Amino acid sequence: MDLPIRKELFWDINAAELDPVKHRRLIIERVFSLGTLDELRVILQFYGKEIIREEIMKVGYLDPKTFSFVVSYLKIPKTKMTCYIRKQLRPQHWT
């Protein structure tokens, strides 16, 4: 991977084999969830906001804080986010 992003974000896979185009959803998801502000700037510059919007809407899970940031920053209706739809399909026993 040629992007200046910490390899530690990809602890569960071989980061050297990551293709920035082929694995863009994984890269975007990890940087939004675990990356620094500088790493976020790198992917925004590399992919652009539109591609990031398309890919982040398809991510299966985002923690609540990241979800709120993504919805607010990228101006995505939460009902268009796959992780939100999945959460609504699995109601909690107690809240």
Q: Read off the pLDDT of residues 40-87 as tens digits, 9 standing for 90 and up.
A: 999 999 999 999 999 999 999 999 999 999 999 999 999 999 988 877
How many alpha carbons lie under 13 Å from residue 91 in its C-beta half-sphere? 2
pLDDT at 16: 87
Q: What is the pTM of this model?
A: 0.85
Task: Quickly list DSSP for the chain.
Answer: --S---GGGGTTS-GGG--TTTTHHHHHHHHHHH--HHHHHHHHHHH-HHHHHHHHTT-S---HHHHHHHHHHTT--GGG-HHHHHHHHS--S--
In the predicted structure, residue 94 carries a pLDDT above the cut 80: no
pLDDT at 95: 56
